[in-house]
C-alpha cells in the first residue's frame, strides 16, 4: 500500500459539500497573538490522503502531532480510524483535526505532523508571533 499526502494545511474551517468537494477557509502559515500562552477559537488541520493499492487493508489510522519551537509535543490528537475500500486501486480520504483552544505556550515555529499508520507522511510549519506594536 502506498500512502501520500494530497494536502495538509492549517485553517479556520474545512467543509465538504454534498458533491464531496472540500472547501478550506482561511489558511494560515503564521498567527499573531497578543500574549502567550495563546489559543485560537477556530483552528483546524485538514488533510487529504491518497491511498494506492491497499490490497487487503480495510482501514488506516490517522493522527496529528504538534511540536513546539523547542521540540516538545504540544498536542497529540486521538487516533482516527478511517475505513478504506480494499479492492479500489486508488482512493482519497480526508481528515480533520480540531485544534480549537489548544494552547501555544510561546512565540516561535511550530511543526505539525500528519501520521498514517505510525508513519509521518506530511509536515506543516506555522509561525506564532507576538502582535506588532502600533505604528507611531
Q: Using pLDDT thresholds of 50, 70 and 90, give the confidence band for residue 99.
A: very high
pLDDT at position 135: 64
The residue-averaged pLDDT of 27-41 equals 92
44 secondary structure, DSSP code? E
Which uninterrupted H or E stretch holds 102? none
The grid cell for 3 is: 500512502
Query: Which residue's C-alpha cell is 497529540?
Result: 76
pTM (2 d.p.): 0.89
Nearest to 23 by CA among 4, 46, 39, 3: 46
> How is domain 2-130 classified at the CATH fold level?
Coagulation Factor XIII; Chain A, domain 1 (2.70.50)
Amino acid at each position: 500500500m502506498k500512502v501520500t499526502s494530497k494536502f495538509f494545511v492549517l485553517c479556520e474551517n474545512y467543509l465538504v459539500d454534498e458533491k464531496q468537494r472540500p472547501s478550506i477557509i482561511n489558511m494560515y502559515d503564521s498567527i499573531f497573538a497578543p500574549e502567550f500562552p495563546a489559543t485560537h477559537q477556530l483552528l483546524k488541520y485538514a488533510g487529504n490522503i491518497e491511498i494506492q493499492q491497499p490490497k487487503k487493508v480495510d482501514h488506516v489510522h490517522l493522527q496529528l502531532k504538534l511540536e513546539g519551537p523547542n521540540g516538545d509535543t504540544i498536542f497529540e490528537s486521538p487516533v482516527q480510524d478511517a475505513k478504506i475500500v480494499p479492492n479500489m486501486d486508488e482512493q482519497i480520504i480526508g481528515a480533520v483535526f480540531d485544534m480549537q483552544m489548544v494552547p501555544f505556550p510561546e512565540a516561535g515555529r511550530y511543526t505539525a505532523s500528519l501520521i498514517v499508520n505510525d508513519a509521518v507522511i506530511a509536515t506543516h510549519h506555522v509561525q506564532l508571533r507576538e502582535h506588532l506594536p502600533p505604528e507611531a
